[in-house]
Structure 1
Amino acid sequence: MADITKKVGERIRLLRITKGFSREKLSELSDINANYIGQVERGEKNLTIETLQKLIRGMSVTLEELFRHLDPMEKKDVLGEIMEDLSARSPEDQAVVLQLLRTMFDWEEKKHGKS
Structure 2
Amino acid sequence: MSDLPKVIGERIRNFRKEKGLSQEELADIANLHTTYIGQLERGEKNATLESIEKVTNALEISLENLFRSIHPNPDSQEYTLSQIITRLQTRSIEDQKIILKLLDLLLEWKDR
Common topology (TM > 0.5): yes
Q: How many residue pairs are counted as aligned between the two chains?
A: 77
> Quick check: 1:14 aligned with 2:14?
yes
C-alpha distance in 2, partners of 1:47/1:2?
13
Taking structure 2 as the reference length, the TM-score comes to 0.62
Structure-to-structure mapping, 1:28-107, within 5 angstroms: 28-72=28-72
> Which ranges of structure 1 fall in alignment gaps of 5 or more residues?
82-115
User: Alpha-carbon deviations, 1:52-103, whole Å to 9, x = none?
Assistant: 0000001100011101132225899xxxx9xxxxxxxxxxxxxxxxxxxxxx
Which whole-Å CA distance do the structure 1 matches of 2:41 and 2:16 have between them?
Answer: 10
- Any stretches of 5+ residues in structure 2 without a counterpart? 79-112
Distance 2:33 2:9 in 1: 15
What's the counterpart of residue 98 of structure 1?
A: none
Query: Percent identity between the aligned chains?
Result: 44
Bigger Cα Rg: 1
Q: TM-score, normalized by length of structure 1?
A: 0.61
In structure 2, C-alpha distance between the alignment counterparts of 1:67 and 1:26, rounded to whole Å: 19
